[in-house]
């Protein structure tokens, strides 16, 4: 509403309006009375002089009260406009926040998709090398028909190597070992470096050595001192290629058989 004021301001405005109207009427009658008396030649008295002064005083009071009411009306209108503006700003801020949240979710989704694409492009590759070693035989000539057993100091050794690109970053070397006649799958035959499997084990360390300008080898030794059965050993090397254009991105799965020494 145009005049949306509280009860006190409304009452003040009504009182001011009544005072001004009443004062103007009183001044009108006082002026007519004074003109009539002057026309008849009646001298002016103190009472007749106080009438217009009192009326002017009342007019000033009424004007002051009216001015106060009008100022309160202006303040009220200003408050209403400020409240409306605040409401609009809050609504716009809420819309901006919702839009920003949607954009952030979309950016995170795009980033996640691109991250998955990069991860897929640079997923870990692997090469495997497998070798076997027969039962251990001592070098001493035995006088009996029985085959002498080996001890660990006389263990046979084979070296198993897997070739990877020269620029590859090796992330893991996984070792597997099982008896040659075993039907156990490779996935259940994983061992740690230096861990004994029956009467065989891998060396404690995995080493790397240059193979060519394009490739290098990741190698480890496998030992057996079992005089009754042979073993199969497997080395799986996992690696990543750096994101450089034109570089070799993968290497084929290879199988290397090493001769017993």
The CA–CA distances, whole Å, from 155 to 87, 150, 151, 159 equal 87, 7, 6, 13
Question: Per the structure block, which two tokens stand in for 52?
Answer: 């217009």
| pLDDT value of residue 84 | 87
Measuring CA to CA, which residue among 54, 45, 46, 65 is closest to residue 27?
Answer: 54
On whether the CB atoms of residues 221 and 96 are closer than 8 A, the answer is no
> DSSP H helical segments within the chain, as ranges?
7-40, 46-121
Pair type for strands 231-240 and 125-133: antiparallel
Angle formed at CA 212 by CA 211 and CA 213, multiple of 5 degrees: 140
Burial class from Cβ neighbours inside 10 Å (0-12, 13-18, 19+) for residue 194 reads: exposed
DSSP 186: G
On whether the CB atoms of residues 229 and 103 are closer than 8 A, the answer is no
The one-digit pLDDT tens for each residue of the chain (261 residues) are: 445 556 666 766 677 677 777 777 767 677 677 667 667 665 656 555 555 666 666 666 767 766 777 777 777 777 888 888 888 888 888 889 888 888 888 888 776 665 554 554 456 789 999 999 999 877 554 445 555 668 888 889 999 999 999 999 999 999 999 998 888 999 999 999 999 998 999 999 999 999 999 999 999 999 999 988 899 999 999 999 887 554 444 444 444 444 344
Torsion angle defined by CA atoms of residues 66, 71, 77 and 80, in that order, rounded to the nearest 10 degrees: -120
* Distance from C-alpha of 77 to C-alpha of 69, rounded to nearest angstrom: 12
């Amino acid at each position: 509403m145009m005049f949306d004021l509280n009860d006190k301001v409304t009452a003040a405005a009504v009182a001011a309006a009544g005072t001004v109207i009443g004062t103007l009427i009183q001044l009108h009658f006082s002026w007519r009375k004074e003109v009539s008396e002057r026309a008849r030649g009646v001298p002016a008295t103190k009472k007749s002089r106080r009438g217009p002064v009192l009326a002017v005083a009342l007019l000033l009071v009424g004007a002051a009260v009216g001015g106060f009411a009008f100022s309160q009306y202006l303040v009220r209108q200003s408050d209403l406009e400020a409240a409306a503006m605040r409401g609009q700003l809050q609504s716009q801020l809420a819309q901006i926040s919702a839009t920003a949240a949607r954009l952030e979710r979309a950016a995170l989704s795009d980033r996640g998709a691109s991250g998955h694409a990069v991860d897929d492009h640079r997923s870990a590759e692997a090469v495997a090398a497998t070798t076997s070693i027969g039962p251990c035989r001592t070098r001493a000539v035995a006088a009996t028909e029985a085959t002498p057993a080996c001890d660990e100091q006389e263990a046979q050794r084979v070296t198993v190597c897997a070739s990877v690109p020269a620029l590859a970053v090796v992330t893991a070397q996984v070792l597997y070992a099982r008896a040659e006649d075993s039907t156990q799958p490779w996935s259940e035959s994983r061992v740690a470096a230096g861990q004994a499997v029956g009467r065989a084990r891998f060396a404690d360390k995995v080493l790397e050595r240059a193979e060519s300008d394009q490739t290098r080898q990741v190698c480890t030794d496998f030992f057996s001192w079992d005089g009754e059965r042979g073993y199969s050993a497997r080395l799986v090397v996992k690696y990543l290629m750096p994101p450089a254009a034109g570089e070799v991105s993968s290497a084929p799965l290879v199988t290397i058989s090493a001769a017993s020494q």
